[in-house]
Amino acid sequence: MNANAEVLFKPLRIKGLVIRNRIMSTSHAPGYARDGRPQERYQLYHAEKAKGGIGLTMFGGSSSVDCDSPATPWNQVAVADDGIIPYFQQFADRVHQHGAALMIQLTHMGRRTRWDTDAWLPVIAPSVVREPASRSVPKDMEVEDIRRVIRSFADAARRCRQGGLDGFEISGAHGHLLDQFWSPGVNRRTDAYGGSLENRMRFGIEILTAMREAVGDDYIMGMRMSGDELLKDGVSHEDAIAIATEYARRGLIDFVNVLGGQARDDMSHAVSLPNMAFPVAPFLHLASGIKREVDIPVFHAQRITDVATAARAVAEGHIDMVAMTRAHIADPHLVNKLAQGREDDIRQCVGAGYCIDRIYVGGDALCLQNAATGREATMPHDIPRADISRRVVIVGGGVAGLEAARVCALRGHHVVLFEQEAQTGGQVTIAARAGWREALSGIVRWLDAQVRKLGVDLRLGTRATPELIAAEKPDVVIVATGGHASVGDRPGSDLVHDARAVLEGTVEPTGSVLLYDDMGQHNAASVAEVLATRGCLVEMATGDRLIAQEVGTTNQPVHLRELYRLGVVLSPNMELTEVYREDSRLVAVLRNTMTDVEEERVVDHVIVEYGNLPREDLYFALKKNAANRGQTDLPALLEGRTQPVFAEGQDGYALFRIGDAVAGRNIHAALYDALRLCKDL
Ligand SMILES: Cc1cc2nc3c(=O)[nH]c(=O)nc-3n(C[C@H](O)[C@H](O)[C@H](O)COP(=O)(O)O)c2cc1C
Ligand code: SF4
């Protein structure tokens, strides 16, 4: 174990609670609550981290304490009535039995939420200042509203204690109601709650005082806050130190959980949930600055994904507890693996932001590279061995094939994997060549290392043929050959190149480039950035309303920032209808999707992104001799049963297709295809 890492296993005492180590997960809203309650899925998700050795897991990001802070938007937890208490008790039992502590985050979102949901109540804030992220124009709070919300916080605190939770934090981070009062740009009040910092701190003091009265001195109450909102009219680092110090001095908080930035608009949101474009631990200094001034434990999260950085943060005294929140979404068994000297087996978070981005489009948090997370009821993190060992041949060493090989090897099968290239990784390895997306390569590195360790027979640089496969006498053949890039079927498609070819290096455009994006994903934006960095004059056009429309909330701003910085011309609502040659150049015809008016661009190259078409030749060549005719039995797949072909006494090999070899989708879909099929093989 890394020498510093030992410090992570030193227990931390807060009041009567002993947290067994210094590693935690901060509260987040994974979108798993149902009807405002953390039910089985939610509880199992955190229990898995507890089983995996975590010291403290905090659930219920943004759990609401009152009816005008609706719990619906991200399927949050509602703590506004006593009906929540039995759920807390069941949850606490589930986590405590594995030795971890369990806390929740309580909040009122104020203006940082929507009014057109749940009870359709107007949102409230210290003053009538519109929030760009939620687009809500709030009502300014009357003193009666202030009193009501304080009472609601106190009632919620009582419910936490009655529910057997080890404590809670209130959120004064990400622009919730508490920090709306602190933040001078949002709090324009002229009464006792506005103006001086002392006045702006008052609301929080009154909330915490009422909560303390409700739960008693021995119960753990903490606060999450920004150590610097990074805004001209926001809470500065000095303000943050003053707030933390004052609340701690009054005995109102037993820990402070510090982060950097806030989330009131697109770019600041991306900064507060730093993805792979950001360095590791970008805001540790803010937590450290507060740690120097307060005598209560300091927690901190924000892109601490590796054990060395986590250990350094604690060993050097910057913080007391290190939160590795997304790191646990990627690998809930992180702590045990570290304790067992299996650091290399930790599936490290790559900072893709797929988990967080999904909740802003009404989805649930899923990890791009770990399909078991959030599906603990049906998908194992530890793969059990099969009763029967089979001979499995996998064709394709992209992420779908690698995951299939990993899971099959853990099942105890004999696995041969054919990959025509000299290295594994397929499209993900190619995508990782694009600028700030480099960390995607971590997904492949981990899978590759695991399959080698598990003794998978890797046949790199070998193009699989039906004969080569037959020579292995397989019981199972899994085709994971991925997809080839489409160039679309518009007139002139023979004159264009696909975006992937740029990253592969098979085409090297110079001069002016029209890059057309039909998908709205990372691919085209990444290639536009690469081309512009190389000095091309790039126009990026799409028929969509927005550039990179499908890229999520914490990733799209980073693409846009790069595209603007690089001077790429952005043309939404422009559909490519035709390309033709004119002398030595190309003419791209673009149709405005709103007006139907056509425009032409004369350029040196047209590059297009139309997604993938399956590479399926081998599948069809193998299908005719397959015992199951290549068909995956979908009811068996969805119910987690062995494929019927095995029960029927199979004659010949069973054939399956996974990932983009079936239909072009994404990394998570490829991995999920592999995991859910192979866990029952
Ligand atoms: C899906 C998801 C939802 C989140 N929701 C909340 C939330 O409701 N409240 C909160 O304080 N932080 C929330 N966060 C932020 C995390 O608590 C944490 O600060 C962030 O993930 C950075 O830490 P990390 O890099 O260790 O993941 C959320 C994070 C994720 C991934
Ligand atoms: S989706 Fe990406 S950011 Fe989220 S946990 Fe997985 S690897 Fe980390």
**Model confidence pLDDT, tens digit, residues 445-464:** 999 999 999 999 999 999 99
Residue 73: its pLDDT value, please?
Answer: 82
Which segments in the chain show pLDDT lower than 50? none
Q: DSSP labels for 23-77?
A: EEE-----S--BTTB--HHHHHHHHHHHHTT-SEEEEEEEEESSTTS-STTTT--
User: How far, in Å, CA of 634 to CA of 641, rounded?
Assistant: 10
438 near 425, Cβ under 8 Å?
Answer: no
* SS3 call for 408: helix
Task: State residue 654 phi and psi, 5-degree precision.
Answer: -90, 135
Nearest CA to ligand 2 atom 6: 367
Mutate which of 329, 370, 445 to test ligand 2's pocket (most atoms within 8 Å of Cβ)? 329
pLDDT at res. 647? 79
Count CA atoms closer than 13 A to 215's CA, side-chain side.
30
Which residues sit with their C-beta closer than 6 Å to ligand 2? 326, 329-330, 349-355, 367-369
- Stated as kind and residue range, the H or E segment containing 221 is strand 220-226
Question: Where does residue 233 rank: exposed (0-12), middle (13-18), buried (19+ CB within 10 A)?
Answer: exposed
Closest Cα to atom 22 of ligand 1: 302
Give SS3 for 436: helix
Of the ligands numbered here, which is closest to the C-alpha atom of 26? 1
**Phi, psi (rounded to 5 degrees) for 506:** -85, -15
442 CA distance to ligand 2 middle (Å): 11
Q: State residue 172's pLDDT score.
A: 97
SS3 550: coil
Beta strands in 341-489 (DSSP E): 391-395, 414-419, 457-460, 476-479, 483-485
Q: Ligand 1 centre from 28 Cα, in Å?
A: 4
Q: Of all helices (H) and strands (E), which one includes residue 90?
A: helix 85-96
Helix (H, G, I), strand (E, B) or coil at 319: coil
Query: Atom of ligand 2 at shortest distance to CA of 443?
Result: 7
pLDDT of residue 477: 98
What's the CA-to-centroid distance between 62 and ligand 1, angstroms? 10
* Ligand 1 binding residues, C-beta < 6 A: 26-30, 61-62, 105, 171, 173-174, 224, 259, 273, 301-304, 323-327, 355-356, 359, 365
Cα 301 to averaged position of ligand 1 atoms, centre (Å) = 8
pTM over 0.75: yes
CB 668 within 8 A of CB 366: yes
Mutate which of 333, 368, 441 for ligand 2? The one with the most ligand atoms within 8 Å of its CB, which is 368
Instruction: Tell whether the torsion through CA atoms of 345, 351, 355 and 358 is positive or negative.
Output: negative
Report H helices in 197-324. 197-215, 237-249, 266-272, 284-291, 307-315
Residues 477 and 622: their CA atoms lie apart, in Å, by 9
